[in-house]
Amino acid sequence: MNSTPENNTFSVSVKADRLAFGDTVLFEHIEFDLPASEWTCLLGPSGVGKTTLLRLFAGLVPDVENVEVKCSDGRELKSRAAYMAQQDLLMPWLSVVDNVMLGERLRSEQPDKARALDLLARVGLTENANNLPAKLSGGMRQRAALARTLMEDRPVVLMDEPFSALDAITRIRLQDMAAELLKDRTVLLVTHDPLEALRLGDRIHVMSGRPVKLDEPLTPPGTAPRDLHDPAVLEGQADLLERLAAADQDKAA
């Protein structure tokens, strides 16, 4: 159960010839890869298009033309990617364990409660399994969302600022937990926090401009989750902040 799902050794790429909303051209001739079994982080100013890019991978942008999502093994990404958003998206009427089993219910499969409880144990929520989400703190709710994501057991995980609403300490704990539990999966993490990207990412891209440009990725040394005192993390943070400042100016211009 702790193992990565089978057939995870494929990379994913999105190729957008043109994606515009009204008169605003968001992407033009852009190609973006998620290498297999790596964490790819996307940073950039608010509104630059990070979430849209993630949603393209997730198949959540309706009626798009000239956009192609491809997997290196030739199969579709659909059904092989799990999604975790900034909001925990727990159903308030379901207990925590029922929330974890939501995907199975939605697909009319037999829910595997033993596995759901095991995952809840791994995120430290055993005692809250039968509670409603309203009884949980923000950090606990996001841990439940992480358990729900793991329950889907998919090789690709798409995460859209999943820890941004949490306080600093809870965020760091959850980053450690996610790094451990999603090790060896192909992950796309959209974040606005350079430190988070440096702790978790194997490759970090900064998005900027309109239409969007992607710079050369930063590849921090060492394995995730990187220590907060790691000189490479601190140095990388300064570098990323500079790139983000430049990206912000680019957007303003």
Partner 1 sequence: MKILRPLIIFAALIAFWQIIVVVTGAPHYILPSPGRVLNALGSRSDVLLSHGWITLSEIILGLILGTILGSISALTMGYFKPARRWLMPVMVVSQAIPVFALAPILVLWLGYGMVSKVAMATLIIYFPVTAAFFDGLRRTEPGHLDLAQTMNASRWATLRHIRVPAALPSFASGLRVATAVAPIGAIVGEWVGSSEGLGFLMLHANGRMQIDVMFAALFVLAIIAVTLYYAVDAGLKRLLFWLPDTQTS
Residues in the chain, overall count: 253
Task: State the residues that interact with partner 1 by CB under 8 A.
Answer: 55, 58-60, 78-79, 81-83, 85, 87, 89, 91-93, 102-103, 105-108, 132, 134, 152, 158
Q: Which three-class secondary structure state does DSSP give residue 19?
A: strand
Closest to partner 1 by CB, 107 vs 229, is: 107
Smallest distance from the beta carbon of 225 to partner 1, in angstroms? 25
| CA 147 to chain CA centroid, nearest Å | 14
Closest to partner 1 by CB, 154 vs 226, is: 154
Closest to partner 1 by CB, 56 vs 247, is: 56
Closest to partner 1 by CB, 91 vs 232, is: 91
Smallest distance from the beta carbon of 203 to partner 1, in angstroms? 23
CA angle in degrees (0–180, nearest 5) for 183-114-159: 35
Smallest distance from the beta carbon of 106 to partner 1, in angstroms? 4
Q: Which three-class secondary structure state does DSSP give residue 22?
A: coil
At 196, which helix (H) or strand (E)? helix 194-200
**Residue 20 backbone zone (phi > 0: left; psi -120 to 50: alpha; other: beta):** beta
DSSP state of 2: -
Smallest distance from the beta carbon of 158 to partner 1, in angstroms? 8
